Amino acid sequence: MSRIGKLSIRLPDTVNVNYSESEVTVKGKFGTLQTKIPNTISIKQDNNSLQVNLKSEARSDRSLHGLYRTLINNMVIGVSEQFQLTLILKGVGYRAAVQGKEIVLNLGYSHPVKIEIPKDISVEVTQNTTINLKSCDKELLGLFASNIRAWRRPEPYKGKGILYQGEQIIRKAGKSAK
């Protein structure tokens, strides 16, 4: 049995979970999330907790046990608290701004980079170089943050680029003159 899969999921009072044989829907104050689950996984709800169990002990089923428990737990946390990521722009002239439904980045290219903001994500720019992203969907939030970061990955010589908050860049020494 999976060490993660056998843990119960604590449900806050503000979260409502509905499930059928193939779908789980979680509703909370920050939104509604749903996901499909395989038929080999069953869900049992007690007072303020949720238990994810296996119907069979086949190897392929056991491999999904911890995964789906974590996915459902992330849904519960997301609709009750929201997930937050912070990106920091590091470099001369690098800045960001939100204009309508898109984020505009000046990253040293000859043109500004415009990225469409998904409807489930809220974006806030502070001090022109700090981008705060919030969403109840952890997967969508991480994907959007990695799409922004892909425009200027941190480079090891000067440390310029788009960094996650708290990320350390291992610096390399440049060429040395003879």
Strands 122-126 and 130-135, by their bridges, are antiparallel
Segments of the chain with pLDDT less than 70: 1
pTM value?
0.89
Q: Determine the pLDDT at residue 118.
A: 94
Query: Can you say how many angstroms the Cα of residue 27 is from the centroid of all Cα atoms in its chain?
Result: 18
Q: Determine the pLDDT at residue 129.
A: 94
Q: Determine the pLDDT at residue 1.
A: 60
The answer to whether residues 154 and 107 touch, using CB atoms and an 8 Å cutoff, is no
Q: Determine the pLDDT at residue 174.
A: 83
Q: Look at residue 141 and give its three-state secondary structure.
A: helix
- List all residues 6 or more positions away from 4 whose beta carbon is below 8 Å from its beta carbon: 65, 66, 69, 70
Q: How far apart are CA 121 and CA 144, in angstroms?
A: 9
- Joined together, the tokens standing for residue 164 give 């996650």
- Joined together, the tokens standing for residue 4 give 């993660």
Structure confidence by residue, pLDDT tens digits, 21-43: 889 999 999 999 999 999 888 88
Q: How far apart are CA 23 and CA 61, in angstroms?
A: 17
Measure the N-to-C terminal CA separation of the chain; round to a whole number of Å: 61
Block residue for tokens 């959007």? 144
Q: Determine the pLDDT at residue 176.
A: 81
Q: Determine the pLDDT at residue 109.
A: 92
Domains, in order of start, for the chain: 9-81 (3.90.930.12), 83-164 (3.90.930.12)
**DSSP assignment of 6-19:** TSPEE--TT-EEEE
Q: Determine the pLDDT at residue 3.
A: 85
Q: Determine the pLDDT at residue 63.
A: 85
Counting Cβ atoms within 10 Å, is residue 78 exposed (0-12), middle (13-18) or buried (19+)?
buried
Instruction: Tell me the longest C-alpha to C-alpha distance in the chain.
Output: 73
